[in-house]
Chains A and B, each alone.
Chain A
Amino acid sequence: MTDGLEPQTFRVTRADLVRYAGASGDFNVIHWSDRLATKVGLPGVIAHGMYTMALVGRAVTTWAGAGDGVVEFSVRFSRPVPVPDTDEGTEIEVAGVVKEVTDDGLTRLSITATCRGEKVLSLATATIRKR
């Protein structure tokens, strides 16, 4: 078993947000309209929190080795992820360390996710049963 999640970078563009909105059914205007996002005090269009969580979920399930290895998964969205309307969009960096391995074989991962050097998740943890 490795010591944790190797740091990995996920690129996020407006096209990703549009695709995620359609797939998830979350059509909140703050994820596609700069005009309406700024009206409610945001810097502009922001990523769905659940999109960030899904990217972390990819890293976690890969690490767990199986989709059903994840027993519990929780995050706090501490800061929005602004996604500019550019080809590059933005990037989210995900990493994690093993915090605990319990007697009944569960591994607790503590996860960090940052965008432009700032934490966008806090209290992000996943509990995994390794196969």
Chain B
Amino acid sequence: MPLDPSFVGRSWPPTEPYVVGREKIREFARAIGADDAEYHDPEAARALGYPDVVAPPTFPTVVTMAASRQITSDPRLGMDYSRVVHGDQRFRYTRPVVAGDALVCVNTVEDITQRGGHDFITTRTEVTTEAGEPVVTAWSKLVQRGEERS
């Protein structure tokens, strides 16, 4: 079933704030093998001018992926998540995420297309603080692979 093209241009209300925990940043940094001190040690991070431990550049995916379920889990979109692979990813940073941030996401569907039996959906997620201070914008293109023909 193709993805519903009427979702293009739609935006969703801001998500509930995601409060970034120091341990979550440490866990993420460990999982990707990033052992630089500013990801783990608040003192080291403060020495570099951050209020608390800093998140690695792809950490926002933790927040935006959860937020984008607003879109992908809507049954009217028609997405079968077991057939989804990641196509493109882009981040534009205003500043890095730091522990203690309360982040709010606004999701928009920028594009839905079909090619070669596969469906493509591009979403944009504006990540800000609760006060509206911009932090990072993330674009994701997901590919829903066509069903195997028997």
Name A's B-contacting residues (CB within 8 A): 10, 16, 19-20, 22-26, 28-30, 36, 39-41, 46, 48-51, 53-55, 57-58, 60-62, 66-68, 70-77, 80, 123
Contacts and interface: CB of A to CB of B under 8 A. Distances in A.
A100 to B, nearest CB: 17
A61 B39 CA distance: 12
Given A23-B27, A67-B38, A71-B93, A54 B148 contact: no
Contacts of B56: 54, 57-58, 61, 67
Interface stretch (B2-10, B28-36, B105-113, B122-130): B28-36
B82 A29 contact: yes
Given A58-B32, A67-B38, A76-B87, A40 B57 contact: no
5 contacts: A26-B61, A26-B65, A61-B36, A61-B56, A67-B54
Contact of B57 (A24, A25, A67): A67
Nearest to B94: A71
A39 B145 CA distance: 12
A24 B65 contact: yes
B93 A70 contact: yes
Interface of B: 24, 27-28, 30-34, 36, 38-39, 48, 54-58, 61-62, 65-66, 81-93, 95-96, 139, 145, 148
A40 B87 CA distance: 16
Given A24-B65, A40-B83, A61-B57, A68 B95 contact: yes
A17 B92 CA distance: 26
Given A22-B31, A24-B28, A41-B145, A49 B66 contact: no
Contact of B89 (A23, A41, A70, A74): A74
Contacts of A51: 32
Contacts of B81: 28
B82 A30 contact: yes
A16 B28 CA distance: 11
A46 to B, nearest CB: 8
A55 B31 CA distance: 10
Contacts of A74: 88-91, 139
A48 B28 CA distance: 14
